[in-house]
Amino acid sequence: MEALNLQQLSLILDQDLVIVPGETLPQPQTTADAAAQLGSSITALVEDSHEPEYAEEVRRISYEGGFEKGILVVFQGNSLDNSHREFLFKVLGAVGCSLKDVALVSSTHILELPPESVDQLAPRRYLVFGSFNHPIMKFKKANYEIVSGEREYFFADALADLADNVQLKRNLWNGLQVLFQINK
Protein backbone atom coordinates (compact mmCIF):
# COMPACT_ATOMS: atom_id res chain seq x y z
CA MET A 1 0.00 0.00 0.00
CA GLU A 2 1.40 3.37 -0.90
CA ALA A 3 1.65 6.21 1.60
CA LEU A 4 -1.13 8.77 1.36
CA ASN A 5 -0.44 12.48 1.46
CA LEU A 6 -2.57 14.93 3.46
CA GLN A 7 -4.76 15.84 0.51
CA GLN A 8 -5.59 12.20 -0.20
CA LEU A 9 -6.26 11.52 3.49
CA SER A 10 -8.65 14.47 3.63
CA LEU A 11 -10.79 12.78 0.98
CA ILE A 12 -11.46 9.71 3.14
CA LEU A 13 -11.47 11.26 6.63
CA ASP A 14 -14.39 13.52 7.48
CA GLN A 15 -13.11 14.56 10.92
CA ASP A 16 -9.97 16.26 12.11
CA LEU A 17 -7.13 14.07 13.25
CA VAL A 18 -5.50 15.03 16.50
CA ILE A 19 -1.94 14.03 17.22
CA VAL A 20 -0.98 14.20 20.85
CA PRO A 21 2.68 15.05 21.40
CA GLY A 22 4.56 12.22 23.05
CA GLU A 23 2.03 9.61 21.96
CA THR A 24 3.38 7.26 19.34
CA LEU A 25 1.85 4.39 17.47
CA PRO A 26 3.82 1.21 16.96
CA GLN A 27 5.36 1.22 13.51
CA PRO A 28 3.99 -1.56 11.28
CA GLN A 29 6.45 -4.12 10.00
CA THR A 30 4.70 -4.82 6.70
CA THR A 31 2.34 -3.10 4.31
CA ALA A 32 -0.48 -5.41 5.41
CA ASP A 33 0.13 -4.36 9.04
CA ALA A 34 0.02 -0.70 7.97
CA ALA A 35 -3.32 -1.22 6.19
CA ALA A 36 -4.77 -3.04 9.19
CA GLN A 37 -3.57 -0.29 11.56
CA LEU A 38 -5.04 2.46 9.33
CA GLY A 39 -8.32 0.53 9.06
CA SER A 40 -8.61 0.12 12.84
CA SER A 41 -7.82 3.81 13.34
CA ILE A 42 -10.53 4.82 10.88
CA THR A 43 -13.01 2.43 12.54
CA ALA A 44 -12.22 3.92 15.93
CA LEU A 45 -12.76 7.43 14.54
CA VAL A 46 -16.11 6.47 13.01
CA GLU A 47 -17.28 4.81 16.24
CA ASP A 48 -16.26 7.86 18.27
CA SER A 49 -18.10 10.19 15.89
CA HIS A 50 -21.46 8.77 17.00
CA GLU A 51 -20.97 10.23 20.48
CA PRO A 52 -21.50 13.94 20.95
CA GLU A 53 -18.21 15.77 20.68
CA TYR A 54 -19.10 18.08 23.55
CA ALA A 55 -21.64 16.93 26.06
CA GLU A 56 -23.51 20.16 26.64
CA GLU A 57 -24.72 20.51 30.18
CA VAL A 58 -28.28 21.77 30.49
CA ARG A 59 -28.17 25.31 31.79
CA ARG A 60 -30.10 25.86 34.98
CA ILE A 61 -32.86 28.39 35.31
CA SER A 62 -31.94 31.31 37.49
CA TYR A 63 -34.97 32.54 39.38
CA GLU A 64 -36.02 34.82 42.16
CA GLY A 65 -37.52 33.19 45.23
CA GLY A 66 -37.10 30.10 47.37
CA PHE A 67 -39.18 27.58 45.36
CA GLU A 68 -40.21 25.85 48.61
CA LYS A 69 -43.67 24.85 47.35
CA GLY A 70 -42.47 23.89 43.86
CA ILE A 71 -44.45 26.61 42.08
CA LEU A 72 -42.95 28.12 38.94
CA VAL A 73 -44.34 31.58 38.17
CA VAL A 74 -43.52 32.80 34.67
CA PHE A 75 -44.41 36.31 33.57
CA GLN A 76 -44.38 37.72 30.06
CA GLY A 77 -41.52 40.08 29.32
CA ASN A 78 -38.06 40.74 30.63
CA SER A 79 -38.80 42.31 34.01
CA LEU A 80 -41.69 43.44 36.18
CA ASP A 81 -42.30 47.07 36.88
CA ASN A 82 -43.06 47.90 40.51
CA SER A 83 -46.85 48.11 40.16
CA HIS A 84 -47.10 44.69 38.42
CA ARG A 85 -44.70 43.17 40.90
CA GLU A 86 -46.78 44.49 43.80
CA PHE A 87 -49.95 43.14 42.16
CA LEU A 88 -48.37 39.70 41.66
CA PHE A 89 -47.26 39.50 45.29
CA LYS A 90 -50.77 40.46 46.45
CA VAL A 91 -52.16 37.65 44.31
CA LEU A 92 -49.60 35.18 45.66
CA GLY A 93 -50.33 36.33 49.22
CA ALA A 94 -54.05 35.78 48.68
CA VAL A 95 -53.40 32.10 47.86
CA GLY A 96 -51.05 31.64 50.82
CA CYS A 97 -47.76 31.97 48.97
CA SER A 98 -44.86 34.38 49.12
CA LEU A 99 -41.61 34.77 47.24
CA LYS A 100 -40.00 32.04 49.35
CA ASP A 101 -42.55 29.54 48.00
CA VAL A 102 -42.16 30.19 44.27
CA ALA A 103 -39.58 30.48 41.53
CA LEU A 104 -40.24 33.75 39.71
CA VAL A 105 -38.90 33.81 36.14
CA SER A 106 -39.35 36.06 33.12
CA SER A 107 -40.43 34.60 29.80
CA THR A 108 -37.37 36.25 28.24
CA HIS A 109 -35.08 34.17 30.48
CA ILE A 110 -36.96 30.92 29.85
CA LEU A 111 -36.85 31.46 26.09
CA GLU A 112 -33.04 31.75 26.24
CA LEU A 113 -32.75 28.27 27.74
CA PRO A 114 -33.41 24.80 26.36
CA PRO A 115 -36.79 23.33 27.41
CA GLU A 116 -34.95 20.73 29.49
CA SER A 117 -34.01 23.48 31.93
CA VAL A 118 -37.62 23.77 33.06
CA ASP A 119 -37.91 19.99 33.32
CA GLN A 120 -34.76 19.91 35.42
CA LEU A 121 -36.32 22.35 37.90
CA ALA A 122 -39.33 19.98 38.09
CA PRO A 123 -42.06 22.32 39.39
CA ARG A 124 -45.29 20.80 40.68
CA ARG A 125 -47.33 23.81 39.57
CA TYR A 126 -46.94 26.35 36.80
CA LEU A 127 -48.52 29.80 36.97
CA VAL A 128 -48.02 31.47 33.60
CA PHE A 129 -48.94 35.12 33.08
CA GLY A 130 -49.05 36.17 29.44
CA SER A 131 -48.28 34.36 26.24
CA PHE A 132 -44.99 33.47 24.58
CA ASN A 133 -43.61 30.80 22.27
CA HIS A 134 -42.34 28.02 24.56
CA PRO A 135 -43.17 24.31 24.97
CA ILE A 136 -44.92 25.12 28.29
CA MET A 137 -47.62 26.83 26.25
CA LYS A 138 -48.65 23.55 24.58
CA PHE A 139 -50.49 22.68 27.80
CA LYS A 140 -52.67 25.79 27.56
CA LYS A 141 -56.31 25.11 26.77
CA ALA A 142 -57.72 28.47 27.81
CA ASN A 143 -56.87 31.22 30.25
CA TYR A 144 -58.00 30.65 33.84
CA GLU A 145 -58.45 26.91 33.34
CA ILE A 146 -56.44 24.41 35.36
CA VAL A 147 -54.73 21.71 33.36
CA SER A 148 -54.05 18.77 35.65
CA GLY A 149 -51.86 15.78 35.11
CA GLU A 150 -48.41 14.93 36.33
CA ARG A 151 -48.13 18.67 37.01
CA GLU A 152 -50.70 21.44 37.28
CA TYR A 153 -50.74 24.33 34.82
CA PHE A 154 -52.62 27.59 35.18
CA PHE A 155 -52.51 30.22 32.45
CA ALA A 156 -53.65 33.81 32.79
CA ASP A 157 -53.44 37.06 30.90
CA ALA A 158 -50.30 39.19 31.14
CA LEU A 159 -49.90 41.04 34.43
CA ALA A 160 -50.16 44.39 32.61
CA ASP A 161 -53.61 43.39 31.32
CA LEU A 162 -54.74 41.98 34.67
CA ALA A 163 -53.76 45.02 36.70
CA ASP A 164 -56.17 47.30 34.81
CA ASN A 165 -59.14 45.01 34.19
CA VAL A 166 -61.58 44.11 36.99
CA GLN A 167 -63.22 41.25 35.06
CA LEU A 168 -59.85 39.60 34.34
CA LYS A 169 -58.95 39.95 38.03
CA ARG A 170 -62.18 38.13 38.93
CA ASN A 171 -61.42 35.38 36.44
CA LEU A 172 -57.92 35.06 37.89
CA TRP A 173 -59.17 34.91 41.46
CA ASN A 174 -61.87 32.32 40.65
CA GLY A 175 -59.32 30.08 38.92
CA LEU A 176 -56.73 30.43 41.67
CA GLN A 177 -59.31 29.58 44.34
CA VAL A 178 -59.91 26.25 42.60
CA LEU A 179 -56.18 25.63 41.98
CA PHE A 180 -55.19 26.32 45.59
CA GLN A 181 -58.42 24.89 47.08
CA ILE A 182 -59.44 28.12 48.80
CA ASN A 183 -63.02 28.42 50.03
CA LYS A 184 -63.93 32.06 50.58
Tens-place pLDDT, residues 48-75: 444 444 445 567 889 999 999 999 999 9
pTM (predicted TM-score): 0.68
pLDDT confidence of residue 32:
56
Between CA 55 and CA 43 the distance in angstroms is 22
Domains along the chain with CATH numbers: 6-49 (no CATH), 71-179 (3.40.50.10220)
The gap between the terminal CA atoms of the chain, to the nearest Å, is: 88
Pair 163, 87: CB distance under 8 Å: yes
Backbone angles phi, psi at 177, to 5 degrees: -60, -40
> Which tens digit of pLDDT belongs to each residue from 77-101?
999 999 999 999 999 999 999 999 9
Query: Are 136 and 153 in contact, with CB atoms under 8 Å apart?
Result: yes
Name the amino acid, one letter, at 76.
Q
